[in-house]
Amino acid sequence: MFNLKNYLHQKQAAINKALDENLNRPSAMSKRIVSAMNHSIMAGGKRLRPILCIAACEIVGGNEENCITTACALEMIHTYSLIHDDLPAMDNDELRRGKPTCHIAFDEATAILAGDALLTLGFQLLSRNSSKLSGAEALQKLDIIHRIAVAAGCEGMIAGQMLDILSEGKKLEIEELKQLHMSKTGALIEASVYAGAVLGNGTASQIANLRDYARNIGLAFQVADDILNIEGDPFFMGKAVGTDNDRHKSTYPSLIGIEASKRFADELIANALKSLEAFHMEAEPLRVIARYIVERKK
């Protein structure tokens, strides 16, 4: 039987090893920047995006080696966004995963630069070793870089964060909130799955199904986060709860109530599982991850 805990541990270990190798190279000029990058990237993240990337790659017949560097790049881009979102000018968070946020452990200037450096290093990793690639592989890589840049940029993650800040204290429509989350977190999750599926040489229909899966779990992840911010245990979460309410943020529970939010999350997960119908046992990791997203405690 498929064991999620073992699977996640094994993937996380591979990802952490690769992240460490890609971050701690002797040529890095500024030790302080590298320390700050390390502080945030090694703070015990779930590695959801790289795991989804690897899982998607393996499901269509690829292997970890095909996509581990891309997986690392995705985690770096995700981590940069967390560092910048935590800054005093943005969400002003002092704790993340139970540890001081980057600007608390270092200072604001270092945190801004460490974020910038992680984003840039992400693209550096995505484009490296071009001399060893075939033309077809290079075309694939360029396509992936472009999709990730679009997902992370001002039509995706950054637009979502801006909307999030601008809508603090305002009551959004449910469709606006959905749009906010689709861009803030959904786009990069979808790009992660897309990248893995492309690097594993998935067919067009496999890729379309996997993207559909990703869109659904991406939104479910956010709905579950909103619920955890009300019902979660700060001990397990490593961060404060009730903060959305304190900030008068529009959330699924605040707009449609907690029970309807839970039903919505379940519905999204059901849709995600439906997108995987064309796959057999090889998609079991993605199925279990989908269920885990709404059942997790942190």
- Where on the chain is the footprint of its own copies (CB under 8 A)? 27-30, 32-34, 37, 80, 84, 87, 89-90, 107-110, 112-113, 115-117, 119-121, 123-124, 126-128, 130-131, 133-136, 138-139, 141-143, 145-146, 149-150, 152-155, 158-159, 161-163, 165-166, 183
Residue whose CB is less far from its own copies, 127 or 271: 127
We find the least distance from the C-beta atom of residue 41 to its own copies, in angstroms, to be 12
DSSP letter for each residue of 108-165: HHHHHHHHHHHHHHHHHHHTTTGGGS-HHHHHHHHHHHHHHHHHHSTTTHHHHHHHHH
We find the least distance from the C-beta atom of residue 241 to its own copies, in angstroms, to be 23
Residue whose CB is less far from its own copies, 166 or 260: 166
Whole-number Å distance between alpha carbons of 298 and 295: 9
Residue whose CB is less far from its own copies, 59 or 114: 114
We find the least distance from the C-beta atom of residue 122 to its own copies, in angstroms, to be 8
Residue whose CB is less far from its own copies, 112 or 258: 112
We find the least distance from the C-beta atom of residue 215 to its own copies, in angstroms, to be 16
DSSP type of residue 96: E
Residue whose CB is less far from its own copies, 162 or 255: 162
Residue whose CB is less far from its own copies, 90 or 288: 90
Interacting residues of 167 by C-beta distance below 8 A, sequence separation 6+: 176, 180, 249, 250
Helix (H) or strand (E) holding 21: helix 4-23
We find the least distance from the C-beta atom of residue 151 to its own copies, in angstroms, to be 9
Measured N-to-C along each axis, helices 4-23 and 31-41 cross at an angle, to the nearest 10 degrees, of: 170
We find the least distance from the C-beta atom of residue 200 to its own copies, in angstroms, to be 18
> What is the sign of the dihedral through the CA atoms of 83, 89, 91 and 97?
positive
DSSP letter for each residue of 52-82: HHHHHHHHTT--HHHHHHHHHHHHHHHHHHH
Q: How many CB atoms lie within 10 A of CB 136?
A: 8
